[in-house]
Structure 1
Amino acid sequence: MAGTGDPAPAAGRPGDDAVLPFAVEALDSRGRLVHLGPALDTILSRHAYPEPVARLIGEAAALTALLGTALKFDGRFIFQTQSDGPVHMLVVDFEAPDRLRACARFDEAAVHAAIAEGRATSADLLGAGHLAMTVDQGPDMSRYQGVVPLDGRSLEDAAHQYFAQSEQIPTRVRLAVAEVVSRDAGHAPRHAWRAGGLLVQFLPESSARLPVRDLDPGDAPEGSLPLPVDEDDAWTEAASLVGTVEDHELTDPAVSAEDLLYRLFHERGVRVYDRQPIIERCRCSRDKVADMLRSFSADDRKDMVDEGRINVTCEFCSTAYDFDPAEFEVGEEE
């Protein structure tokens, strides 16, 4: 929900801000397709992100929605990059069953230099570093985290490596982001962000049909090439069909998730399940920020005071919180 002073949210389309699970039983494949509309536009409209940074956040948000909605319990799925590129850090936080928020830290001068030099792809902006995907099941359960390197690869490529090494399930991912113009009658044209994502996995009943690859370096001598592994014919067909998806098919408001899945798999038959809605919702609150400030020492809080107040702005939703330093002095020793 937009807060006070936020831009008016973009008009949604049926099927927006939702993940549609599906199965192609003839190809032993299952997957999910996401369309993000007003939720993503609200996230991006709160910040003056340069266009390539906004696109990168959109890709990450679509991927996180695809993965987060697979959680079968109340918990969080956290997508986070740390790298040496113009975008130093990217965080997308999904809280089951449906809450999504995202933000990025970046070097504005470096981003604009990359744009001027024509090297502002997602891989260029991220540079070298790592991508961590964390499943947090709550304070009483251990966390699971998968980490893959970022070394000049796109988020799609990083996702493929994540599944290859963490779950060893044949997986194909497609991500796309677009800024579209809506021209509703009686209203001025409005630019709005959209993102789409498609994830398909090969899940045959017999585990013997799953191709098993050696992960470099494995136990082979350094420099050895991985042994070739024959793909299952069903998976080869499914992956090839996913590879035909164009960016505009994932972001066009006129192409519903059902329409796109029919285009891809109508010859084999595709079954869809209930949509899983996605909402933009930050987890910050005045009480949580106050608790965070209380965790600092009195000297640290003193350094935060500006013109007699402590001001904190949430990096995710840009909500500003204003505190009187005196309210943290109660009960503290002088």
Structure 2
Amino acid sequence: MTIGSQIAWDDTVLPFQLDASGIRGRVARLDGVLDQVLKQHAYPPVIEALVAETALLTALIGQAVKLRWKLSLQVRGKGAARLIATDYYGPTADGEPARIRAYASYDAERLEETDNPFSQIGEGYFAVMLDQGEGMTPYQGFTPIAGGSLSACAETYFAQSEQIPTRFSVAFGRSTEPGRPAHWRAGGMMLQHMPAMGGVAADQGSGEGGLLTHADILSGADSENWTRANLLLDTVEELEMIGPSVEPTSLLVRLFHEEGPRVFDAQPVRFGCSCSADKVVNTMSIYSQKDIAKMTTDAGIVTADCQFCGAHYELDPKTLGFEGTIAKGEQAE
């Protein structure tokens, strides 16, 4: 491999299972896809870090669910970082990559440069949304912003909403590898205990604000196995997680060789957006021609920009809205 060439395990999510512990997991490495997500916008470093962590969590969670279409994460806060939104689209066919996109909204005047980007979110909520496509009822789950990191919020979500003990260990930052320009890299691991029998009331947790933790869900041998796996994960180093010198398979062997690690086929991940002119037209179908006239520029067009990828659309106002020619099934002149 020459300097500057893509490493085989970059932009992939590797599923695995620890047969001796009843624990499953994922290892993710994001390199080029994360750079593509972030280069669509000129975010301050603090916002870049929040987007990087959310994108990494999205890749780990998205690959772990049976997904027919789209999984979304949203982080909404009352602080300077108002919104972090990500989408993960499952592969459309065997061997095809999954796609991921992300964007952020923030108040630049209130934003502080800090080593703790999480502090810029403030009070708010962490949401997981699952849309399996046409004919299926979308699912939404929420948990408060708490725990000191977005990873901790994701762990709380799974404990509260799914009662599945879950652990994330993530690392991300700007890489300065020799022979390559500075670019963003991220790596992370997700552990999940197989679902336990029974349940615990959501308001009887021992965590912050009464939220559930793994200790409220597991007991006996399951708890011991989970604690042991977490202690082993605690020994991981940031460079092992991000790479590029340690393969995910080698990392799993180092951490969990006594737990019987077994890996499955890796899932490639790419940057991808689902926006289109047709979707913009459909979004505007709720407006009257009077409303459309207010959106029309002096040049006589209606413009729209995708918040995720920056695509720019210019549309004929006569075709838009429920009174437009497209809605009526007519041909625009």
TM-score tier, shorter chain, comes to 0.7 to 0.9
Q: Which residue pairs with 1:27 in the alignment?
A: 21
Counterpart residue identity of residue 105, structure 1: S
Is it true that 1:320 corresponds to 2:307 in the alignment? no
Trace 1:54-133 onto structure 2 (pairs within 5 A).
54-97=48-91, 98-111=98-111, 114-115=112-113, 118=114, 121-133=116-128
Are 1:57 and 1:103, in contact at CA under 8 Å, matched by a contact in 2? yes
Distance of 1:304 and 1:322 partners within structure 2: 12
Counterpart residue identity of residue 179, structure 1: R
Distance of 1:125 and 1:151 partners within structure 2: 13
Trace 1:1-334 onto structure 2 (pairs within 5 A).
12-97=6-91, 98-111=98-111, 114-115=112-113, 118=114, 121-151=116-146, 153-184=148-179, 189-203=180-194, 207=196, 215-217=202-204, 230=219, 232-308=223-299, 309-328=301-320, 329-330=324-325
Distance of 1:332 and 1:258 partners within structure 2: 53
Distance of 1:330 and 1:170 partners within structure 2: 53
Distance of 1:315 and 1:271 partners within structure 2: 39
Q: 3-state DSSP class of the match of 1:42?
A: helix
The structural deviation recorded for 1:126 is: 1.4
Distance of 2:5 and 2:84 partners within structure 1: 26
Q: 3-state DSSP class of the match of 1:21?
A: strand
Q: 3-state DSSP class of the match of 1:183?
A: coil
**Residues 151 and 297 of structure 1: CA distance in aligned 2, closer, same or farther (over 3 Å):** farther
Distance of 1:79 and 1:196 partners within structure 2: 18
Q: Could you give the per-residue CA deviations for residues 75-111 of structure 1, whole angstroms, max 9, x where no partner exists?
A: 2111112210111111111111212111111111222
Distance of 1:38 and 1:332 partners within structure 2: 40
Distance of 1:86 and 1:78 partners within structure 2: 21
CA-based RMSD of the aligned residues comes to 2.7
Higher mean Cα deviation, 239-248 or 32-41? Answer: 239-248
Q: Could you give the per-residue CA deviations for residues 148-167 of structure 1, whole angstroms, max 9, x where no partner exists?
A: 00146311111111111111
Q: 3-state DSSP class of the match of 1:291?
A: helix
TM-score (ref. length: structure 1): 0.83
Distance of 1:245 and 1:142 partners within structure 2: 39
The structural deviation recorded for 1:15 is: 0.8
Matched residues, number:
307
Q: 3-state DSSP class of the match of 1:190?
A: coil
The structural deviation recorded for 1:247 is: 2.6
Counterpart residue identity of residue 267, structure 2: Q
**Residues 32 and 310 of structure 1: CA distance in aligned 2, closer, same or farther (over 3 Å):** same
Distance of 2:297 and 2:250 partners within structure 1: 55
Distance of 2:291 and 2:237 partners within structure 1: 51
**Residues 246 and 85 of structure 1: CA distance in aligned 2, closer, same or farther (over 3 Å):** farther
Higher mean Cα deviation, 244-253 or 52-61? Answer: 244-253
Higher mean Cα deviation, 246-255 or 56-65? Answer: 246-255
Distance of 1:86 and 1:133 partners within structure 2: 21
Counterpart residue identity of residue 146, structure 1: G
**5+ residue gaps, structure 1:** 1-9
Counterpart residue identity of residue 275, structure 1: A
The structural deviation recorded for 1:274 is: 0.5
Q: 3-state DSSP class of the match of 1:131?
A: strand
Are 1:172 and 1:201, in contact at CA under 8 Å, matched by a contact in 2? yes
The structural deviation recorded for 1:245 is: 2.2
**Residues 48 and 66 of structure 1: CA distance in aligned 2, closer, same or farther (over 3 Å):** same
Distance of 1:319 and 1:182 partners within structure 2: 31
The structural deviation recorded for 1:214 is: 5.3
Name the % identity: 37
Distance of 1:169 and 1:38 partners within structure 2: 31
The structural deviation recorded for 1:269 is: 3.1
Are 1:11 and 1:38, in contact at CA under 8 Å, matched by a contact in 2? no
